[in-house]
């Protein structure tokens, strides 16, 4: 929902896309950090069908989440094919999204 607070959206998206429950004993809500960063970008035409008619730009609200080693991940098959834990630089180099790559490179500032 457009009226959903960004922190609630982050918690929901993490659960939907990874199966990780933020606010659980394993991953406490305090592990979620709002970096107070926003990225506005144009949505590639190939992906616009996923948005409401006329929507051409998206705003990302950037959060970090400390996930303990060994936390179980269950990917949403319509969202992701696979995942891999990598060092910051290598993860950023493999990112398709420039804003995601930049967020990964900022991790050391916020952890």
Q: How confident is the model at residue 1 (pLDDT cuts 50, 70, 90)?
A: low
The pLDDT of residue 109: 77
Q: How far apart are CA 96 and CA 18, in angstroms?
A: 19
The pLDDT of residue 24: 97
pLDDT at residue 105 is higher than 60: yes
Which residues share a beta bridge with 57?
42
Question: How far, CA to CA in Å, does 81 sit from each of 22, 75, 77?
Answer: 22, 7, 6
- Where along the chain do its domains lie? 6-110
- Tell me: domain 6-110, CATH 3.90.79.10, correct? yes
pLDDT digits (tens, 9 = 90+) for 39-85: 999 999 999 999 999 999 999 999 999 999 999 999 999 889 999 99
C-alpha dihedral (95, 62, 36, 86), degrees to nearest 10: -50
Average pLDDT along the chain: 92
């Amino acid at each position: 929902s457009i009226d959903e607070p960004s922190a609630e959206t982050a918690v929901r998206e993490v659960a939907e896309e990874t199966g990780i429950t933020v606010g659980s004993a394993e991953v406490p809500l305090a592990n979620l950090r709002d970096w107070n960063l926003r990225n506005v970008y144009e949505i590639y035409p190939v992906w616009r069908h996923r948005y409401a008619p006329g929507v051409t730009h998206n705003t990302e609200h950037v959060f970090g989440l400390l996930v303990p080693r060994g936390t179980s991940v269950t990917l949403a098959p319509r969202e992701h094919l696979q995942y891999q834990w990598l060092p910051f630089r290598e993860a950023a180099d493999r990112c398709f999204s420039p804003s995601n790559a930049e967020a990964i490179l900022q991790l050391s500032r916020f952890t």
